[in-house]
Each structure stands twice: as structure tokens, then as C-alpha cells.
């Protein structure tokens, strides 16, 4: 028979495990999310989206990763052209985001989750969908509506995407400052953390934050132009330009609408900023704005526009890294503990983009967002809060270990140590089926059918598109590994 101390030890350990697993599966708690998704991503890499869908782990609505699973599912359904199913799953995620925001305001459900996380790891908490993932959710939902020829529904979604970024802009700095203050109270500084934590600066690149997405604003501009709201389109193209100032396609669109709308001050400014990337005739012309407007309107009336959105690759997953940090225990003793943290690889994969050949001329796409850079910057900004939670968790686990050692002796000490070791897992959850890089390309074409030669990552394909006078034809091109496919929509 078990002696009383050992019984007590096992009861405590089981209580901790069951508490940690409330709303979370054992797989989620004790294994990294990126490992669970490896089979899914391998199938996606091969263009086998149905198989990828079948490999997504099943999760109940009470599971903290349920919303993330829906995101993965909806993205793969989108790739498989199952747009109605994708639309329904994205709508479920959006409702969950709204409910989570309401719950956060009254601080009820999150308080319970934090208790379970203290005795396990961050995987026991609800996955809060970061802002850059929320904006991509609405972008895909807008494209789902466009596939059903519902441009009004698409505009609703794209406005929601832009609202997400506005909300993030207001909340980001205050949240970051609060996390830094809490980390400082635990005796850790950003410099101390940076000296131990692997750099992600190469992956982050030049992005200023983890939520401003030029692609969202560019897609918004396309939709506003499609419904004749040139002023609104111009505003969002300028926002895209502010975020991605070196994108030649965005520069040309801003220049085009500045002339069309008679934005004389902007014309003067932009002609100096990127004169080499706009047509020489306009850049070097002394023609008045009114004449330019008349010429642009005449050209628009004689042609339509082809807009190509190019998705490439799959966003890299978070990896788990272990670092040693000096942490003060509950008895105010400083000890070094091994801490498991999420990180992104510190490099960006290079993509050649799309080369489009038409009537002897070659047109090149331009990157408008690198989602890995947004993800890495988002994680960098979250790191003070993540580390603070880890410190609280390690101190609590050490206190529990000491209690179990007193009640269960060496056996209790060993069991508690094993539990602490097994449960020390980094939270590597993220929307891992997103593309890595998105490019854009736009050109004017005469009305009618056109054959276009595409070259992307060494693969060649000829497609036929229908261009309508003074309208836009949107081509959504996906390149993942050896898989290439496109969808064409007349707006």
C-alpha cells in the first residue's frame, strides 16, 4: 500500500495536471503546436489541401486553441476553393474574437485561465489572435465574398481589417510599456533579456510594428476603386505607401489617383519622391493638373486594369528555445532557471516574385507584406509579458515542488521535478498556414481577352484573363512549393 505522504504527493500532482488540462488537451499542453502542425504544413506544401484539412487536430469549442484551429481550417478551405465553408469558419472565429474582447473587459474567464497557466504553461491559456492575424482573417473573408460576387460584403470585411489596425495602433504602446514595467518588477531588464534571447532582427527587417499591414490597405484601395470611391481608395493607397514606401506598384497607384483627383500638393511631393518609378511623361511633364486629369480619364475610359495578388510560400512556424535567466524565488534568493520561450528563425527566405510577360514586355511584381516580419515583431513586443509570466510560473512551480518534497519526501521531489520539466513548454501557437510573402502587380490592358505568360519561382504558366473597359480584373495567384494556381475575378 502507498504510504500517506506518497498518496498526498500523487493527489497534488494529479490535481495540478487536471487543473492545467481543463479546456486543454494533453497534446496541446505537453507538445509544441508547430510539431502538431508539421504534417498539415507538409501536405499544404505539396498542394494537397484536403489531406492537410484532415490532419488538423480535432479540438472542442472549450479548447483554448479552438479559434486557431478554425483559422487553419478556413485558410486551407480557401486554398481548396471551398469558399462557403471557409466563409463560415472565418465568421466563427470573428465571433469568438468579439466574445473574447468582451470577456477581457470584465476580466472573468482570463482570471481562471491564468491560474491553470501558472501550474503548467502558456499553452493552457486561450489563444489570443494577434492583430496581424485578425487583419488577414478579414482579408481572406473579403476574398471569399468576392468569389461569390458580393463586393458589398467584401467591403465590410476590409473595413473591419482596417479597424483592427487602428485599434492596435492605439493599444500597442500602452500594452508594451505595461509589460516592461511588470518585467522590471521581477528583476529583469530588456537588456538582460536581449543578451540571452536569440535575435530576430533580420527576420523583422524594417517593419515598425507587428500589425500594420500594407496589403490590407492596398486591397481596400482596390475595392474602393471598384465601386467608384476614388477618394477613399486614394486614402488607403497612401496608407499602404506609408507602410511599404518602396513598393513601385503602390507608388504608381498613388501617383495615378493623385493626378486623377487633382491633388496638386501631393503631385508636387510625389514627383520628387519617386519620379523614376512613374511614367517619364508624367514625371518630367510641365503639363497642368487639369490636363493630366483629362489624359488619365481618357486612358482609363479606353482600358481596364489587371491587378495580380501573389501569395508565396508558407509562413515559418515558431520554434522553442531555452535560455537561462536570473530569477528571484519567493524567499528572495536569486537562482538561474532554464526558461522555454518561443522564437522565429532569424532569416527571411528570398522569393523571386512574379514576372509577367505580355506583348514582348516583362512586368515584375513587388512585395507588399512579409508576414514573417510582422509575426516576429509581434512576438518581440510580446516577449516582456511572456517572460514575466514565465517568472511567476517558475517561482510558483518551485514553491509547489518544495511543498511536495516536504509531504512526499524524495518521491514527491522527483515527481514534482519531472512534472515541471515535462510542462515547461514554450507556446509556439500561431496561424501557421498563412503565406510568407505577398506581392502585387498592376497594369492597364485593352478590353477583351488576353493571354499572359507567368513565371514564378522558375515555373511557367500561360493564363487567359477577361478585361472589361474601365473595370478591374483581380487575379489571385498562389505559389506554394511546386503548387501554382490562380483565381480570376471581374470587379
Mean pLDDT of 121-147: 91
In whole angstroms, give the CA distance from residue 330 to residue 233: 57
Lowest mean pLDDT across 67-71, 114-118, 356-360: 114-118
Residues facing 460 on adjacent strands: 455
User: For the domain with range 4-490, which CATH number is right: 1.25.40.10, 3.40.50.2300, 3.30.70.20, 3.40.50.920?
Assistant: 1.25.40.10
HSE, side-chain direction, 13 A CA sphere, residue 132: 28
pLDDT higher than 50, residue 112: no
- Tell me the average pLDDT across 213-217: 95
Average pLDDT, the chain: 82
Lowest-pLDDT range, 56-70, 178-192, 217-231, 444-458?
Answer: 178-192
Torsion of CA 60, 66, 71, 76, to 10 degrees: -40
What is each CA distance from 441 to 96, 218, 408, 423, 454, in whole angstroms?
34, 11, 67, 47, 12
Q: Check residue 202 and give its pLDDT.
A: 94
Residue 107 has pLDDT above 80, yes or no: no
**Does residue 256 sit in helix, strand or coil?**
helix
pLDDT computed for residue 322 by the predictor: 86
Which pLDDT does position 491 carry in this prediction? Answer: 92
* pLDDT mean over 23-32: 61
Q: What angle do CA 369, 371, 373 make, to 5 degrees?
A: 95
Q: Which residues contact 194 (CB under 8 A, 6 or more apart)?
A: none
Instruction: Specify the pTM.
Output: 0.85
Separation between Cα atoms, residue 482 and residue 491, nearest integer Å: 29
**Of 258 and 407, the one with more pLDDT:** 258
The edge-to-edge listing of strands for the beta sheet with 459-467 is 361-364, 354-358, 448-456, 459-467
Q: What is the pLDDT of residue 419?
A: 53
pLDDT at 170 over 90: no
Which grid cell is 392? 511567476
* CA dist list (Å): 443 to 134, 215, 228, 358, 363: 30, 17, 18, 10, 8
Locate the domains of the chain by residue range.
4-490
Amino acid at each position: 500500500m502507498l504510504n500517506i505522504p506518497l498518496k498526498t504527493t500523487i493527489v497534488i500532482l494529479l490535481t495540478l495536471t487536471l487543473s492545467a488540462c481543463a479546456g486543454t488537451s494533453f497534446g496541446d499542453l505537453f507538445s509544441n503546436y508547430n510539431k502538431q502542425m508539421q504534417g498539415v504544413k507538409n501536405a499544404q506544401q505539396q498542394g494537397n489541401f484536403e489531406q492537410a484539412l484532415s490532419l488538423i487536430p480535432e479540438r472542442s469549442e472549450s479548447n483554448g486553441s479552438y479559434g486557431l484551429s478554425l483559422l487553419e481550417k478556413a485558410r486551407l478551405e480557401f486554398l481548396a476553393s471551398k469558399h462557403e465553408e471557409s466563409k463560415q469558419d472565418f465568421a466563427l472565429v470573428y465571433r469568438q474574437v468579439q466574445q473574447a474582447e468582451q470577456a477581457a473587459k470584465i476580466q472573468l474567464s482570463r482570471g481562471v485561465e491564468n491560474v491553470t497557466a501558472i501550474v503548467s504553461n502558456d499553452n493552457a491559456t486561450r489563444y489570443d489572435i494577434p492583430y496581424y492575424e485578425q487583419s488577414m482573417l478579414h482579408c481572406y473573408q473579403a476574398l471569399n465574398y468576392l468569389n461569390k460576387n458580393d463586393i458589398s460584403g467584401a467591403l465590410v470585411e476590409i473595413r473591419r481589417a482596417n479597424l483592427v489596425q487602428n485599434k492596435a495602433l492605439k493599444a500597442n504602446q500602452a500594452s508594451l510599456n505595461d509589460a516592461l514595467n511588470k518585467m522590471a518588477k521581477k528583476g529583469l531588464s530588456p537588456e538582460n533579456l536581449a543578451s540571452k534571447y536569440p535575435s530576430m532582427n533580420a527576420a523583422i527587417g524594417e517593419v515598425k510594428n507587428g500589425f500594420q499591414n500594407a496589403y490590407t490597405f492596398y486591397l481596400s484601395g482596390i475595392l474602393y476603386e471598384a465601386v467608384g470611391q476614388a477618394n477613399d481608395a486614394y486614402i488607403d493607397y497612401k496608407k499602404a505607401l506609408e507602410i511599404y514606401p518602396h513598393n513601385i506598384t503602390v507608388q504608381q497607384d498613388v501617383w495615378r489617383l493623385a493626378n486623377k483627383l487633382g491633388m496638386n500638393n501631393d503631385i508636387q511631393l510625389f514627383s520628387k519622391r519617386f519620379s523614376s518609378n512613374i511614367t517619364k511623361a508624367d514625371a518630367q511633364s510641365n503639363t497642368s493638373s487639369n490636363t493630366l486629369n483629362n489624359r488619365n480619364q481618357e486612358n482609363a475610359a479606353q482600358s481596364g486594369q489587371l491587378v495580380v495578388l501573389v501569395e508565396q510560400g508558407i509562413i515559418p512556424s515558431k520554434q522553442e528555445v531555452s535560455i537561462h535567466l536570473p530569477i528571484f524565488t519567493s524567499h528572495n534568493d536569486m537562482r538561474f532557471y532554464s526558461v522555454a520561450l518561443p522564437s522565429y528563425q532569424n532569416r527571411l527566405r528570398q522569393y523571386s516574385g512574379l514576372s509577367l510577360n505580355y506583348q514582348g514586355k516583362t512586368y515584375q511584381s513587388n512585395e507588399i507584406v512579409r508576414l514573417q516580419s510582422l509575426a516576429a515583431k509581434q512576438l518581440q513586443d510580446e516577449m516582456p509579458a511572456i517572460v514575466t509570466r514565465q517568472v511567476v510560473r517558475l517561482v510558483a512551480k518551485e514553491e509547489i515542488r518544495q511543498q511536495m518534497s516536504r509531504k512526499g519526501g524524495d518521491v514527491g521531489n522527483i515527481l514534482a521535478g519531472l512534472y515541471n520539466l515535462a510542462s515547461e513548454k514554450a507556446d509556439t501557437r500561431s496561424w501557421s498556414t498563412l503565406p510568407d510573402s505577398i506581392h502585387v502587380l498592376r497594369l492597364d490592358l485593352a478590353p477583351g481577352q488576353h493571354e499572359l505568360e507567368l513565371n514564378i519561382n522558375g515555373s511557367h504558366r500561360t493564363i487567359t484573363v477577361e478585361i472589361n473597359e474601365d473595370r478591374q480584373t483581380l487575379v489571385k495567384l498562389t505559389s506554394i512549393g511546386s503548387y501554382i494556381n490562380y483565381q480570376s475575378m471581374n470587379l
